[in-house]
Amino acid sequence: MSTIAHAHPNIALIKYWGKESIERNIPSSPSISLTINKLTTRTSVRPINDGDRFLFGNEQVEDEKITRFLEFLRHTYAIPPIEILTENNFPTGAGLASSASGFAALVTALNEEFKLGLAQSEQSVLARMGSGSAARSIFGGIVSLEGPTWAAQVLLKQNDWPLDIVVAITDDNIKDVSSSVGMTMSKESSPYYDDWVKSSETDFKNARKYILQRNFDRLIEVAESNCLKMHAVMLSTLPSLFYWNPATVACIKQIRDLREQGIPVFFTIDAGAQVKAVCLPGTGENVAHILSQVPGVLRTISATVGEDAWIET
Ligand code: DP6
């Protein structure tokens, strides 16, 4: 009666923050991410007779992004009115890439339900039209997104480089300014925006090289620096985009202290207050324990590298 798909969110190691084209949702710079298991979106799709209906959990919602996305798809594909039922096992809209897993799961479900016959790279391009970061969540492992095709590509598969990931949740609330709105504001007003785009190209090339070499020490430098540069652009946007809270800063400090003590770990933060710690295998448990004691940390989630989006059978 319905098709159910699952997808994981991803955490960006080299960030996408800015659009070359709003209409075609083309990023201004290439990005790299790590698909993260444990956090999952589950989306079911079924044809219905009346107009489209979206349910988030058990609640019917209006979602402008999904409405626009379906409108775009129907230019090419014969998709009847549908009911979309989505659930996340993690906080939504709080900087944990729920739009990435959301659109990746939706495209995966639509492809199956309506026999669209799309290859994963084509699904990635479609998912990008819903949300840029969703292009990367079609795939597991470590994934890049670059032009000219802007279809995500797998750099390393799920088991090619085992890594531990700890997410420190410091705020469960929905962020004040969405990524889509925030990055457009940054392009219009941050004096650092052009330099950010230029330096992201270099960071991307370096990070890709270090990932393929599995050189964790060099990846630490480029990933933390790229993250802080994006937040510098956010801070210098008018009005300023300030996604952190005191616990976010305390986690950054704690992760740097752990590294001083010889623990191989680095931090990254997307558009929200949560801190993600990426560590070499075997260290995640210790890092989770220490981060859970940082004042203001509500809880931690321990994960590893996740797999491709999939259909529930
Ligand atoms: C900070 O993919 O949510 O997480 O394309 O407008 O939907 P839209 O933006 P979105 O932005 C993600 C921003 C980020 C960095 C990243 O994931 O690369």
- Centroid of ligand 1 to alpha carbon of 296 (angstroms): 25
CB atoms within 10 A of CB 28: 21
Q: Determine whether the shortest distance from the Cβ of 271 to ligand 1 is under 6 A.
A: yes
From residue 121, give the alpha-carbon distance in Å to each of 25, 144, 150.
16, 12, 9
Q: Determine whether the shortest distance from the Cβ of 131 to ligand 1 is under 6 A.
A: yes
pLDDT score for 175 = 80
Model pLDDT for residues 13-56, shown as the tens digit of each residue: 999 999 999 999 999 999 999 999 999 999 999 999 989 999 99
- Centroid of ligand 1 to alpha carbon of 280 (angstroms): 25
Model pLDDT for residues 75-131, shown as the tens digit of each residue: 999 999 999 999 999 877 666 778 999 999 999 999 999 999 999 999 999 999 999
Q: Determine whether the shortest distance from the Cβ of 226 to ligand 1 is under 6 A.
A: no
Q: Determine whether the shortest distance from the Cβ of 161 to ligand 1 is under 6 A.
A: no
Q: Determine whether the shortest distance from the Cβ of 29 to ligand 1 is under 6 A.
A: no
Half-sphere exposure of 260 (CA within 13 A, CB side): 6
Residues 6+ apart with CB under 8 A from 108: 5, 6, 7, 43, 123, 138, 309, 310, 311
- Centroid of ligand 1 to alpha carbon of 202 (angstroms): 19
Mean pLDDT, the chain, as a whole number?
Answer: 96
Residue of minimum CA distance from atom 14 in ligand 1 = 270
- Centroid of ligand 1 to alpha carbon of 299 (angstroms): 24
Q: Determine the residue of 8, 16, 36 to mutate for testing ligand 1's pocket, defined as the one with the most ligand atoms within 8 A of the Cβ atom.
A: 16
The confidence band for 173, taking pLDDT boundaries of 50, 70 and 90, is: confident
Q: Per the confidence metrics, is the pTM higher than 0.85?
A: yes
pLDDT score for 86 = 95
Buried b / exposed e along 258-281 (16+ C-beta atoms within 10 A)? bbeeebbbbbbbbbbbbbbbbbee
